[in-house]
């Protein structure tokens, strides 16, 4: 379905292709920041 409508999405309404990409990028960034924060708080060695 995406392949059939790909040209229409890109040429007529590019926001339909850009908005989900930005949402996925922000979700991945949020999980990375959450993981870094958890690692810093749970780190028992205290590598300061």
pLDDT at 47 over 70: no
User: Is 32 inside a domain boundary?
Assistant: yes
So what's the pLDDT on residue 32? 98
So what's the pLDDT on residue 39? 92
Q: What is the rounded distance in angstroms from the CA atom of residue 14 to the CA atom of residue 25?
A: 17
Residue corresponding to tokens 């300061």: 48
User: Is 46 inside a domain boundary?
Assistant: no
Total domains present in the chain: 1
User: Is 47 inside a domain boundary?
Assistant: no
Averaged confidence pLDDT in the chain: 84
Between 21 and 8, whose confidence is greater? 21
Full residue range of the structural domain in which residue 21 is found: 2-41
Instruction: Name the nearest CA neighbour of 16 among 24, 8, 27.
Output: 8
Report if pTM > 0.85: no
Q: Which residues contact 16 (CB under 8 A, 6 or more apart)?
A: 9
């Amino acid at each position: 379905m995406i392949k059939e409508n790909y040209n229409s999405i890109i040429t007529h309404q590019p926001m339909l292709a850009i908005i989900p990409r930005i949402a996925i990028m922000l979700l991945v960034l949020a999980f990375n920041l959450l993981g870094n924060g958890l690692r810093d708080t749970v780190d028992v060695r205290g590598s300061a």
